[in-house]
Structure 1
Amino acid sequence: MSTTSTGSGEPSRTLALLWGDASAAPRRKGPGRSVTVEQVVDAALSLADEEGLAAVTMRAVAERVGVSAMSVYTYVPGKAELLDLMVDTLYRRMPRPAWRRSGWRPRLTKVAEANRQLLTVHPWLTEVAALSRPPLGPGVMDKYEHELAAFDDTGLSDVDTDAALTYLLGFVQSHVRSAHDAQRATTDTAMSDEQWWASNQPLLERALDPAHYPRAARIGSAAGEAQGSAWSADAAWNFGLCCTLDGLAARIERK
């Protein structure tokens, strides 16, 4: 799929499709429609989840829903618009339980965890879900409204609230992307992190002279023993989220 981020389509057509305007797709002569736009989007989502974003082509989507390669364009004008629909659909389907008056920190923790879960289940999202140009459909707007409400009672200004949410989501995206990279390395090498480090241990013991690298030897060894590898997704998540929320706390407390 040549499109690599959201917000790449023709704005008027994309917005019309996102908000359910049937006139957004080009009209062509021929038999009536046999499937819906939602079915086309669901087919594209299944392809992306099963085979990765590169597998999502208009031809592959057409085959999955049982229409001709050309007729799929009567539902969605092109790849860019399809990508926006895919992302907005996933955002629209996220659970949005009512916020309780439990304080902003537990609420923001839940925002982070919900986004981590979404990006973990749909790893291709980290490649395309642009924070700067999100698809401005109902899914994005419902998600944005819900997550902004988690900042109620923080005392932050409107501008700072928007920036704080972007900061939090940026941490989540960065972390999940690193977790995907680590998982990909395990899959590509058919070797776990523990196995990789064990196989390299003899070389490391010869090369890593504690006299020359005192901090690297001491701290690297301590971290490896604590985590079972050089990097642990869960340990990195817990530490990183805590630091992110602590940073926001400092900003909030000044208010």
Structure 2
Amino acid sequence: MHYRSQRRSVLFAAPGLVIGALAVGAAGGFSVSPAEIIALIEKPHLLVAVLFIGAFAGITVEQALSRVRRQAWRAKNRSRWQEGPPTNIASGPWVPTSIPNSPKRPDAAEQLRIVMGSSFTIQPLLNKSEARVFRELDRLVISCNPTWQVMAQVSLGEILRSKDANAFSCINAKRVDLLLVDGNCQPRHAIEYQGGAHHQGAAAARDAVKKEALRRAGIGYFEVVAGQTTPSDLKRLVDKLVDKPELPKCSSR
């Protein structure tokens, strides 16, 4: 009776085992005949071993196929990734791009090496039109007050200071064409020469920045316009801006 009940339980489980064997065999790429399955049913321990081997083989085959498909996809799309991210954000794929770091400023030794390997030429401080205005302005200023001087192409970073680092960086590299300084070398008035190409591009905006910074520092700002300012106009401007020298006081007896 015990043998019959065990045989009956195996027979009742046979349909499930048959289905499992067929499924595992199909997954592993094996063909199993019905006669072989019936023979395995008679020996349950062999059936379990076959199921285990079939499952392992199926998983191995599936992993191999997945690896092959993944390699084929990478080979097909390698050119897209090597070309870099597209310029149009809507076209994708969206690959994060790193912001390049600003180049590190070379130290003094590196700067010397770079300079020694380069060549330099002289560049005039003023163009011809600016030089004519400079000579005439310098003559008028000295004749009005010999202690005053006219400086050319003066950097605003050398005559202005600000506790606001951002504000100072806005004017540090800017220059004025001509600067009038008094006998104590104090900047008093800036004079800009406006040539024919002055109002091209962002020149007017740059001059507005310089004018406002000078105004806040208490330095005058005036313009000499090519073709409009005459020598007499320039003389009147100098007489207005330059302080007259103090006359020596006579000692009383």
Length-normalised TM-score, structure 1 = 0.21
Task: Please identify which structure carries the higher helix content.
Answer: 1
Q: If you compute each CA radius of gyration, which structure gives the higher value, 1 or 2?
A: 2
RCO higher in structure (CA 8 A, sep ≥6): 1
Task: Please identify which structure carries the higher strand content.
Answer: 2
Length-normalised TM-score, structure 2 = 0.21
